[in-house]
Amino acid sequence: APGPLAPASRLGAAAVALGTVATLAVAGVAIWQKERLIAGGRPVFLELAPVDPRSLMQGDYMRLAFKLPAQAHSASREAPGVPRLQVAGPVDDRGVARLERLVQPGEPLAPGELRVELTPRAGRWTVATDAWFFSEGEGQRWSRARYGEFRVDADGRALLVGLADADLRLIRADPP
């Protein structure tokens, strides 16, 4: 009959359990933050310039590029300990933001302006993400996209929640 677990075995089992709990906690907090941003973030549309490649490993997707101020394209990429680049611009009556200038974190904005934090991706700056994934064979539907629909919080954190056509009508996937 097997004997009681050795102290080292119990310690190893406890470490695995603690690691699992920590991983689930981090994932849960990240999901909660995104859900909170979706529910409470300001809805905003950003004009995009889509390109429709196909990736053998990832399937069908649309690579996204957003209209950003020229200074954002030449700004150095994020370095450890340096805040992310932020841009700002006015939002029109339809909810379309026109990002026109770089801003410093905490810098006051003009009335009617919105702050958006940029993310470094593939050697350039983008808003939240640079890709929109969709089911195989739905490329034609998504090719109508002209705007990305985002939720943006007061600190400028943005989350892409959908794509819209030139008239700001949301493009929906077919139900499964």
Answer with the residue of higher pLDDT: 101 or 55: 101
Which DSSP symbol is given to 130?
Answer: S
Sign of the torsion formed by the C-alpha atoms of 56, 57, 59 and 65: negative
Which DSSP symbol is given to 139?
Answer: H
Tokens standing for residue 110: 């003009």
Question: Pairing between strand 96-97 and 42-47?
Answer: parallel
Tens-digit pLDDT profile for residues 92-149: 999 999 999 999 888 899 999 999 999 888 778 888 888 888 877 777 788 888 999 9
Q: Assign 2 a pLDDT band (cuts: 50, 70, 90).
A: low
pTM (predicted TM-score): 0.72
Which DSSP symbol is given to 172?
Answer: -
Summary mean pLDDT of the chain: 80
b or e along 126-140 (b: 16 or more beta carbons within 10 Å of the residue's beta carbon)?
Answer: bbbbbebebeeeeee
Alpha helices in 6-120 (DSSP H): 7-40, 70-74
Which DSSP symbol is given to 127?
Answer: S
Tens-digit pLDDT profile for residues 31-52: 777 777 777 777 888 888 755 5
Beta bridge pairs of residue 51: 63
Answer with the residue of higher pLDDT: 2 or 32: 32
